[in-house]
Structure 1
Amino acid sequence: MPSPIVGLHHVTAIASDPQQNLDFYTEVLGLRFVKRTVNFDDPGTYHFYFGDDAGSPGTILTFFPWPHASRGLAGVGEVTRTAFSVPSSSLDYWIQRLSDQKILVERSGQRFEEQVLTFPDPDGMKLEIVAHADAGPVKAPRFASVPPEHAIRGFFGVTLYERDATATTAILNVMGFHKVDEQGNRLRFAAEGNALGNHIDLYIDPSAAYGRVGAGSVHHIAFRAKDDTAQQEWREEIAKHLDVTPVLDRTYFHSIYFREPGGVLFELATDPPGFALDEPIESLGEELRIPEWLEPRRALIEKRLTPLTLHKDLPPFEAKTEQGTAV
């Protein structure tokens, strides 16, 4: 068998306003802007990557910010919740922080063994903060105003909205995720170990309508492959059950894609080479990085992109004229 899949590598979603998206995830949630690049399939638009200080697999939330994108509609065949992990002692801190930013945060109560907060991002994407006893060590983003002891560690997991669990359960089992608990119409799956993003929930509603992709929607979720060899071995295994793409070079990782039976787009992404491939870790995200094959078009690409300002070392949403990296 291939090297085990231990959890999520990244989650990719759709946003509308690029600056609003950047400000929320860096200044409110305290994530690091680890890569500023473009959508390789649509180079006139950005692709943002947020994560811990090093951009570690299991911490990366990415966005395609399409200005003026219409709002998506959550439904079957989509990821409807993206959950972050924080220490159990940090829950009250996050309630206060989000409330201070006038963000409607709901204390959703206990789910399985954890306490959960639910709140929207500026495009209505539903996020969760899970108070987790095994939240793990921190690589706190160096420019965040969130104290390191309360910093988001990475993903806790995601929730997939499904009409039926049978076929999706089967493919999760193939990938090494097995049912570990059940609560009403929510089924929890986990792989061996305690890696970030190790929890995949299925929320089952046989009568639910299908969703519509747009701003605030998750586009796909990516699981971790240890390296290229493991990815190829997994590709051969998955191809026995589902259609799967060839390996695609995403510069910072290599990817294969397949759609699970319930409709959610899955990716399997390699851990290497990582986000320090083309810029020092000290200045991740501060300049636009594009692959070599797009460099001849850089001037045109930059002309089409919305100018951004990355604010550093400032409390959320306070005066931003003195400091920042303007591009």
Structure 2
Amino acid sequence: MRQNGIHHVTAIAGPAQRNLDFYTRVLGLRLVKKTVNFDDPGTYHFYYGDEAGQPGTILTFFPWEHAAPGRLGVGETQETVFRVPEGSIGYWTHRLIEKGVPHEAPEKRFGETVVALKDPDGMRLALVAMPGIKNEPGWTDGEIPAEHAIRGFHSASLLVPEAAPTGAILTDVFGFREIAREGSLVRYKAGDTTLGGIVDLREAGGFLRGRPGAGTVHHIAFRATDDAVQAEMVKKLAENHGIRTTEQKDRDYFRAVYFREPGGLLFEIATDDPGFAVDEPAESLGQALKLPRFLEPNREKIEAVLPKVA
């Protein structure tokens, strides 16, 4: 059955080691791929996710050592939200305090308990307590007990001038439907997709536009099962919305097209296949620096300029 929803979220970070430490050691995500920015190979591209690197669990970063801080604003992803088991909010609240992570007190949104937090670059994240997910497999490297581990994405919250034009793309092209409203938030859900199946649109027409930089999201990617489904989405964008995408780009682990949606956000459509185990064994994902074939001849030069990480 076709699964819609979020494929991955890609953001900009500061120092690579600090980013790696926070997402693997504090939040306990698995580093599923260590590669480079294909368009700027002097910069890492880190992919974090669950044990298998499933679509709907993947948060990726371009860490630039001296990146200036960005400014959150209209036309950007406001918050990237992860799922945790319902009984784990207490554990996570204590962990955030222990690790000195800036966070808010638990609050209710759409009837769910949410803890908002920020990463070292000020990127806005949140944890949502979800009933009935405790038995889903949780990745652990030994520090965070598997029963409390993050279980992929819950949602992403997007800041848009008005919800309707962006909502039309979500519903017509990506298979979402509006399910609830709360204040200035409009919630959309992608069928029965559990991982990354929710997008919240926050109408913020009077706010400043965002400014890219460390702590901001570069783009948000939505799932297409394969090339045929992706092509169908591209056709709908052109015929129903007058929006043209880039040509398809091979990112080794998925194939992608990009476009600006009406609210100004950069959207991507990424295929589910071939996945992250295409160039290294599933049990050792993220351990070695992987390069695309066209960059492999330059490996020595690339490794010489990349920051050392452990």
| Cα root mean square deviation, aligned | 1.3
Alignment partners' CA distance in 2, 1:152 and 1:5? 20
- Displacement, 1:239? 2.0
Specify every segment of 5 or more residues in structure 2 that has no aligned partner in the other structure, as ranges: none
- Displacement, 1:102? 1.1
- 107-116 or 49-58: which moved more? 107-116
- Displacement, 1:66? 0.6
- Displacement, 1:243? 1.7
Select which of 60, 66, 69 maps to 1:68: 66
Alignment partners' CA distance in 1, 2:52 and 2:64? 26
Alignment partners' CA distance in 1, 2:2 and 2:165? 21
| Map of 1:208 onto structure 2 | 207
Select which of 12, 17, 20 maps to 2:18: 20
- Displacement, 1:139? 3.5
Alignment partners' CA distance in 2, 1:66 and 1:131? 32
Number of residue pairs matched? 307
- 73-82 or 175-184: which moved more? 175-184
Cα deviations by residue, 1:133-158 (Å, 9 ceiling, x for unpaired) = 24475333242411111110000010
Q: Assess if the C-alpha contact under 8 Å between 1:244 and 1:256 holds in 2.
A: yes
Alignment partners' CA distance in 2, 1:221 and 1:108? 26
| Map of 1:177 onto structure 2 | 176
| Map of 1:236 onto structure 2 | 235
- TM-score between the two structures when normalised by the length of structure 1: 0.91
Q: Assess if the C-alpha contact under 8 Å between 2:74 and 2:205 holds in 1.
A: no
Select which of 81, 85, 91 maps to 1:83: 81
Alignment partners' CA distance in 2, 1:220 and 1:144? 31
Alignment partners' CA distance in 1, 2:206 and 2:186? 17
| Map of 2:159 onto structure 1 | 161
Q: Assess if the C-alpha contact under 8 Å between 2:11 and 2:218 holds in 1.
A: yes
Instruction: Say which SS state the counterpart of residue 107 (structure 1) adopts.
Output: coil
- 230-239 or 273-282: which moved more? 230-239
Q: Assess if the C-alpha contact under 8 Å between 2:83 and 2:150 holds in 1.
A: yes
- 291-300 or 130-139: which moved more? 130-139
- Is 1:58 aligned to residue 56 of structure 2? yes
Runs of 4+ in 1 over 6 A off after TM superposition: none
Residues 134 and 77 from structure 1, CA distance in 2 versus in 1: closer, same or farther, beyond 3 angstroms? Answer: farther
Q: Assess if the C-alpha contact under 8 Å between 1:5 and 1:176 holds in 2.
A: no
Q: Assess if the C-alpha contact under 8 Å between 1:30 and 1:144 holds in 2.
A: no
Q: Assess if the C-alpha contact under 8 Å between 2:56 and 2:152 holds in 1.
A: yes
Q: Assess if the C-alpha contact under 8 Å between 2:140 and 2:149 holds in 1.
A: no
| Map of 1:320 onto structure 2 | none
Specify every segment of 5 or more residues in structure 1 that has no aligned partner in the other structure, as ranges: 310-327
Instruction: Say which SS state the counterpart of residue 89 (structure 2) adopts.
Output: helix
Instruction: Say which SS state the counterpart of residue 106 (structure 1) adopts.
Output: coil
| Map of 1:97 onto structure 2 | 95
Cα deviations by residue, 1:189-219 (Å, 9 ceiling, x for unpaired) = 1111132111100111221111100000000
- Displacement, 1:16? 0.6
Alignment partners' CA distance in 2, 1:239 and 1:251? 26
| Map of 1:217 onto structure 2 | 216
Structure 2 counterparts to residues 23-42 of structure 1, below 5 A:
23-42=21-40
Alignment partners' CA distance in 1, 2:132 and 2:305? 44
Residue identity opposite 1:32 in structure 2 = R
Residues 179 and 212 from structure 1, CA distance in 2 versus in 1: closer, same or farther, beyond 3 angstroms? Answer: same
Q: Assess if the C-alpha contact under 8 Å between 1:34 and 1:285 holds in 2.
A: yes
| Map of 1:313 onto structure 2 | none
Alignment partners' CA distance in 1, 2:193 and 2:111? 15
Structure 2 counterparts to residues 1-327 of structure 1, below 5 A:
4=2, 6-135=4-133, 137-174=135-172, 175-240=174-239, 241=241, 242-309=243-310
